[in-house]
Structures are given as C-alpha cells and as structure tokens.
Structure 1
Amino acid sequence: MDSFSAHELIWTGSYTADSGGSGIGIGAVAPAADGTLRWLGVAAEADSPSFVAVHPSLAAVYAVAEQARTVRAYRRAGAFGLEPAGPAWPAGDAACHVAVDPSGRFLVVCCWGDGQVLFYELDAEGQITSRTAAAASRDPYGDAPGAQASGGGTPDREDPDRDRAKRPSRAHAALMLSDERVMTTDLGHDLLRIWNVRSGPVPGLDLDHEVVMPRGSGPRHLVQHPGGNVFVVTEYSVEVAVAMESPGSADFRLGHVGPATAGGALPGDAAAEIALAGDGRHAYIGVRGSNRIGVLQVVDGGTALRAVADVPSGGNWPRHHLVGNGWLHVAHERSGDVVTFPLDPESGLPGAPAGRLDVASPTALVPARAGLTRRG
C-alpha cells in the first residue's frame, strides 16, 4: 500500500480566517517511526490554501487561495519551508482544487464558485507563464424539473440548486488520466468532462466528450484505478460511480453506481474524498456529517465497488484523507486534527486509531514527493 516513504513530508492545506478557519497557511507534517504523523511547522503563510499539488520533477508546490481567487507557485526552502516563486495568478470564484500534469507542462485549477476550469502553462523552472479558460459547462438537464438524487443524503440541504430551473456550474476537481487527457468533475451540473490538451501558440484544454451522471448526484472527487477505469465519489447522493472506457472507443461511459457506505447515507451526509490503496484492491471514502470512512472492495477487475464496512473517522468533518505505507490518515476540518489508522494488509480494514495530530482547519493531505498523489 505504499504511497509515500516513511520519512517523507506531507503538505497540509487549510482554511484560514478569510474562510472562517483557524489555519495559517500550508503546513508540513511527516510520518514518525510508528506510522503516526508529527507536526513540523507552517511551511508558508497563505490565505486559505485549500488544495495543494506538487511538480513531478522540480521542488515546486502549487496552491489555490480559495477566497482570494488565485493560484500560486512555491519553491522549497530549507528543511520543510516554502517561499513564493512568482506572483499569484488570478483564478476563479472559490478556486478549490489544483492538479499538475505528470510531465510538468501545466496546471489545471477547478473553481467551485463560478464553474471555471482553468489551464496554466508552466515553464522549465515550474513557474506559471500563461492562463487560459476552458469552455464553460452547460447543464445537460437543462430546464428539466427537479428530481431526487439516486442515493441518500439530504438533497434540500446539500444541493439547494436541484429544484431550480437553472443550476450553476460547480467545477470541483481535475484528474490527470493515464492516456494524457484530463478529466474534471462538475458537481453542480452532474458531469464528468474529458479534455484533450492543446499545444501550440495558445495551449489549453479542448473538450473531448462528457459523461452525464445521475441528476443531483454531485460528482466531487475522483481517482483512476490501475486497470484504467475512474472511480468517482458523489457528494450529494453519497455514492461511488465507475467511469469506464467504451469498447472500441476511448470515450468513457457511466458504469456501476452504488453506495459509498455499507450502512447507507444518513440525513446531513456529504461525501468528500476517495482514495485507493496502492494495490488497487480497496477504496476509502470520507463522509462528512455522520463522520465515517466507507471501506469498499474493488471487484470484477475494477468495474465495480462493493461497500464492506463503515468506520468512524475519529473526528468532525473528514474533508480529505491519504492512504499509504499501510496507514490511513484522515484530516478533519472542523475538529482540527488528523487521525491515523493502521490498515489490515489483507482485509484493507482500518484498525483502532493509532494517533491524533492537532492541525488547524486541515483541508488536504498531499505527499511532497511528486507522482504519489495519483496512486492514492
């Protein structure tokens, strides 16, 4: 289940005062000898760096500033510090996610507030040199009357736009696919959007095709299985869906859709992150509200997932989590901590919590070594 080495840094995103949080900026933690985490310090002061990504080959880190509507490059400084590398670049409203191309050519930033998907070109030093907006999303359900999501959750609370004639676009996350395309989620329009990367004098993203999700499901985060299928967690319906390549085509299509938890969604639940074990046999989904981690077994060669157990996350509002080296680390935004669980190597089930680390308003856990975030 190795996703990062036993002595490697992990960056923490956070919400700061401008988002009602108590964080200071990007934090640095590291695994101790027993697998639990220890706090190293604040790597860089920043306003609500809610998500962080790392360059594949350079000592460069990128963070969105959610309320400031920017994205910025940082360079490593000292043992665990970060310093700005160039100016902050404008992003969109509530820029909530950043992902880096595995070859280090570009970034993709997703913006929850206005639905923008933004492409940023990088130079040989890892600095941002240009910004191009991708095509805006169009709601595939148009003016259709509202409908319940296919799973549980609390539709009126979690998707207040579901019964409106016009639902706003809510781009939420980007995934660099193994075939060098990019897949993004649109939580408001219930869409997966697959993009080709355009080179030339004006690089950017060209829409290839879309996968329409069940209305009101709210696709949020996603991860690619080693077999090629993409697993998507839905925030509103608290489900997991499989996007599969169609036979004889590079187009994705919607396959399996099933519950993200063994016990079903409860009132007030909102699913957050999905992560894979390094061997690809289990997936872990965080559920805010009831504060659980859903453990799912990957079955039928990665074409479906089966919920096998729910485990209390150990804190309040599990926004993000990381799997690696036989451990599960869960970041709780509202209780301000990261709780560590050992994972059984055969069943994949978390054991009793092994440690708890105070981290102010954590929103993301990202290994500092490039290439590891893609494997969960």
Structure 2
Amino acid sequence: MDSFAAQDLIWTGSYTADAGGSGSGIGAIAAAADGTLRWLGVAAGADSPSFLAVHPTLPVVYAVAEHARTVRAYRRDGAFGLVPAGPAWPAGDAACHVAVEPSGRFLVVCCWGDGQVLFYELAADGGILDRAAAAESRDPHEGTLDADAKQPKRPSRAHAALMLADGRVMTTDLGHDLLRIWNIRTGPGPALRPVLDHEVVLPQGSGPRHLVQHPGGHVFVVTEYSIEVAVAELSPAFGDFRLGFVGPATAGGALPGDSAAEIALAADGRHAYVGVRGSNRVSVLDVEAGGAALHPVADVPSGGDWPRHHVVRDGLLHVAHERSGDVVTFPLDAGSGVPRAPAGRLAVASATALVPARAGLALPG
C-alpha cells in the first residue's frame, strides 16, 4: 500500500530572495501517519510568506509578506495549488504573524518592525474586506529604567496573536514585554473595532514571542530573550489574566546565542514543546497543576539549524529549520511526550512556518 494513502497536507512558509532566503513562496507537504514527508511543490509563488493561517471552514490560506508589508488571501486550486483571492492588503513593517478568528470573521496581523496590530474583516467567501488598526502599545517599563544609563526608548515589537476560547484576542509585544487582550466590537464606523480590555506585564527584557492556550484556560507564553515560559493565569471569577508562573523553558538552561521561537501543546495538554534557536534544541515541558506551571524535563536536538517553527500533530512533532532548510519529524513517546529518533527529514528551502490544512482538506491517497 502507498505510504501516503492516509496523507495530510501541510502548508509551509519561507523566506525568499527579498529577505536573503532561498525559498520560492508557499510550499505544500504531504505528511503520512508514520511521519514520512513528501514535497509536493510550490503552492503559490510569493515574496517571503513567513507566516500563514488557514480559514476555519473554507479552502483559503492567508499569508503575510514580511518584507513587502502586506497580507493576502489565497484560494485552494487543485490538489495543492493556491491562487490569489483578491489583492494584497497593506500591513505594517515586518509583518511577521497572521491568525484567523475561529468563526472566520477576521484576521489579525502583528508587525515586528513598527509594533502595529492590525485587524482585517473577512467576507463570507474568505476574502479580505476592510482593515482596522489597534491602539499603539505603551511601554509599561518606561520610567522604571535607570535614567543615568541613558537607555534609548524601547520600540514596540508586536509579534503574535492568539484567539482566546472566550472570543477575545491576546497579542504579544516582544519589545515592550507586554501581553494585550482585546475585545472586538462592531460599529459605528469601521466594521471591526478592537478595544483594549486589559494588559499583562512581563519582566523587563524577557521578550514575549509566541503563545498558546491550555484547555484549562491559562495561556503559555515563550519569551525569546530570556528563554523562559510564562503563564498568564485566567481568573474564572473576573475573566481577566494576570502573570502567574515564570520559569525556564529548557532543562539544561539557556546557552550563549540562544533565542526561543515557538511553543506548541500536545493535543491532551499534558506536554508543551519549545524551540530554541542557536543551540538548536526542542525542549519538552510537563504541564502541571492544571496549567498553572510548566516543568522542563528534556532537551532534544532539533535535527537542523535554527528551529523557527514547529507543530505537534497526531503524535508527531514536525520542526521547520530556517537556516538548514529542512523539516524534521519526530515520533513522540505516548507516555513521556519526549521525541524519539527522527522518522524523516525533508528539504524545504528557508522554512519559516508549518500550518496544517484544516480537517476535510486532506489529499487523496
């Protein structure tokens, strides 16, 4: 039997020549249940589509063009092709992340270069209709810095958005060490109106990057600079978040030149996985106390250079390496959650993101 008889489709982001990369656009990978990967081809030529998101119900993919400062919708065409679904919409400087609201009402784009958080209204067919900008971030640590040190003003660096289970949106600001929680309202004026609900301040210099919500409601945040994991605890009584646990992201400690990248959860919420660039590790953390704390238990070589992004899916860990240009797949131990020996490696030029196609859009066998 063909090993790809039960294959799934995974979209890949990349850096292209405009960013010094060797990618060609949005790629397509077929993933078999045993962890074997097969390169299908370039789904759509695009300039540095460094991060992607998938519409929850429609065959539509969204990609930020990081250096072109745009976001665009693509519609599926054939087995794995993508074609533009409308024009590219303007975003901000170094648009680095895009996320889709679970019912398909809107997108959120975060921009590392200028700190913008942008909301895009979506049409019934998944196309982009309108844009609204969220309020600018203010550095909560400003005024607490040593005046004698003559430190420059810290720039805002919006980096990722998470759709919370209660309908709100949480965004990270890596430059201001800040989590911002948004309510999304409609009218009057723009169809979408992001309103700041509240903020959670992280330790100065930690650099919150990516985040994921535990089934219990708490949010886990990986910090790029301090190589830690923080828990934004959700109060069931008041619905607000506060900073709870902060601890190391790795079992062996941070090494010189390290920067944390992605955090992902196992489907059952028992284990979290953090990618660390520099020392090129994936760290496994046990989730404790119903999501109130995380404890690192193992550091595993990622199998390549610069693990920028990873996904956990069906008992497998897929790791995208930007600099070595490959995706490495690890089976996960069912009990401990620790990755076993790699099951496969696939060349993917300047890989930056891995986003599985939604259920129901798997490839035919």
TM (normalized to structure 2)? Answer: 0.94
Answer whether contact 1:143 1:166 (CA < 8 A) is retained.
no
Q: Which residue of 2 aligns with 1:80?
A: 80
Q: Count how many residue pairs are aligned between Structure 1 and Structure 2.
A: 354
- In structure 1, what residue type is equivalent to 2:313? G
CA distance in 1, matches of 2:324, 2:114: 29
CA distance in 2, matches of 1:167, 1:6: 49
Relative distance call for 1:9 and 1:270 in structure 2 (3 A) is same
Q: Secondary structure, in 3 states, of the residue corresponding to 1:301?
A: helix
Answer whether contact 1:95 1:110 (CA < 8 A) is retained.
yes
CA distance in 2, matches of 1:315, 1:58: 34
* Runs of 4+ that moved beyond 6 A: none
1:218 aligned to 2:207? yes
> What is the CA distance between 1:37 and its match in structure 2?
1.3
2:178 pairs, out of 182, 191, 194, with 191
Q: Secondary structure, in 3 states, of the residue corresponding to 2:110?
A: strand
Relative distance call for 1:45 and 1:308 in structure 2 (3 A) is same
Q: Which residue of 1 aligns with 2:50?
A: 50
1:335 aligned to 2:324? yes
1:307 aligned to 2:296? yes
Aligned-residue Cα RMSD (Å) equals 1.7
Structure 2, unaligned runs of 5 or more: none
Answer whether contact 1:139 1:189 (CA < 8 A) is retained.
yes
> What is the CA distance between 1:185 and its match in structure 2?
0.1
Q: Which residue of 2 aligns with 1:24?
A: 24
1:326 aligned to 2:299? no
Counterparts of 1:161-310 in structure 2, within 5 Å, are 164-201=151-188, 202=190, 203-246=192-235, 248-310=237-299
Answer whether contact 2:26 2:49 (CA < 8 A) is retained.
yes
Answer whether contact 1:280 1:298 (CA < 8 A) is retained.
yes
Identity of aligned residues (%): 79
CA distance in 1, matches of 2:359, 2:51: 15
- In structure 1, what residue type is equivalent to 2:291? G
CA distance in 2, matches of 1:276, 1:45: 31
> What is the CA distance between 1:353 and its match in structure 2?
1.0
Q: In the TM superposition, what whole-angstrom CA distance separates every residue of 1:118-166 from its partner, at most 9, and x where no partner exists?
A: 000001111101011100000001133269xxxxxxxxxxxxxx98331
> What is the CA distance between 1:240 and its match in structure 2?
0.3
Of residues 338-347 and 199-208 in structure 1, the stretch that sits farther from structure 2 once superposed is: 199-208
CA distance in 1, matches of 2:146, 2:264: 31
Q: In the TM superposition, what whole-angstrom CA distance separates every residue of 1:310-340 from its partner, at most 9, and x where no partner exists?
A: 0000000000001111111100000000011
Q: In the TM superposition, what whole-angstrom CA distance separates every residue of 1:222-258 from its partner, at most 9, and x where no partner exists?
A: 0000001000000000000000113521110000000
Answer whether contact 1:30 1:40 (CA < 8 A) is retained.
yes
> What is the CA distance between 1:8 and its match in structure 2?
1.6
Answer whether contact 2:95 2:110 (CA < 8 A) is retained.
yes
CA distance in 1, matches of 2:109, 2:353: 15
CA distance in 2, matches of 1:180, 1:356: 37
Answer whether contact 1:211 1:253 (CA < 8 A) is retained.
yes
Q: Which residue of 1 aligns with 2:351?
A: 362
Relative distance call for 1:146 and 1:322 in structure 2 (3 A) is farther
CA distance in 2, matches of 1:371, 1:215: 44
Q: Secondary structure, in 3 states, of the residue corresponding to 1:18?
A: helix
Q: Secondary structure, in 3 states, of the residue corresponding to 1:369?
A: coil
